[in-house]
Amino acid sequence: MATTTRTEATSAMETVLVLHSLAPLSLLDDLRAIFRTVKYHPIQTRDGSISPTQPTAEDYATTDAIFAFTVPDELQSPAQTPRLKLFQVCSSGYSQVEQHPFYKAAKEAGGAGIAWANCAGIQTTTIAEHVIGTVIMLLHKIHFLYWAQRAEQRWVSPREIGGFNIQDVGSLKVGVIGYGHIGREVARLFHAFGSTVYALTRNGVPTFEKGYTLPGTGDPTGSLPTKYYATSPYSSILSFFSACDVVVNVLPDTPRTHRTISTDEFKAMKGNAIYVNIGRGTTTDQEVLVEALRVKKAEGEADDATGTLRIGAASLDVTDPEPLPSSHPLYTLPNVILTPHVSGLSKDYWRRALNVLKLNAEKLGRGEEAVNVWSGATEGVKEQ
Identify whether 5 is part of a domain: no
- What pLDDT score does 45 carry? 67
State residue 376's pLDDT score: 34
Give the number of other CB atoms < 10 A from CB of residue 378: 17
Does residue 113 register a pLDDT over 60? yes
Q: Quick one: which of 198, 206, 204 has its CA closest to 226?
A: 198
Residues 27 and 170 in one domain: no
211 and 305 assigned to the same domain:
yes
Asked if residue 207 and residue 316 are part of one domain, the reply reads yes
Considering the domain architecture, whether residues 90 and 225 belong to the same structural domain is answered as: no
Rounded to an integer, the average pLDDT of 161-187 is: 95
Same domain membership, residue 138 and residue 99? no
Q: What is the mean pLDDT of the chain?
A: 92
Asked if residue 30 belongs to a domain, the reply is: yes
- Residue 227: give the domain boundaries: 124-338
Per-residue confidence (pLDDT) for residue 381, from 0 to 100: 44
pLDDT, tens only, 299-348: 999 999 999 999 999 999 999 999 999 999 999 999 999 999 999 999 99
Judgement on whether residues 111 and 128 belong to the same structural domain of the protein: no
- Domain annotation covers residue 371: no
More confident residue, 352 or 381: 352
296 lies in the same domain as 359: no
Say yes or no: 112 and 129 in one domain: no
- Domain CATH number, residue 144: 3.40.50.720
Instruction: Compute the average pLDDT of residues 101-121.
Output: 94
Query: Are 282 and 316 members of one domain?
Result: yes
Per-residue pLDDT tens digits for 17-65: 999 999 999 999 999 999 999 999 998 766 666 667 789 999 999 999 9
Angle in degrees, 0-180, between the axes of helices 124-139 and 181-193, rounded to the nearest 10:
50
Q: How many structural domains is the chain composed of?
A: 2
Same domain, 306 and 352: no
Q: Classify residue 207: in a domain, yes or no.
A: yes
Same domain, 83 and 136: no
Chain Cα centroid distance, residue 53: 31
pLDDT tens-digit map of 192-238:
999 999 999 999 999 999 999 999 999 999 999 999 999 999 999 99
Q: Is 228 among the domain residues?
A: yes
130 and 178 belong to one structural domain: yes
Segment 146-158 shows an average pLDDT of 91
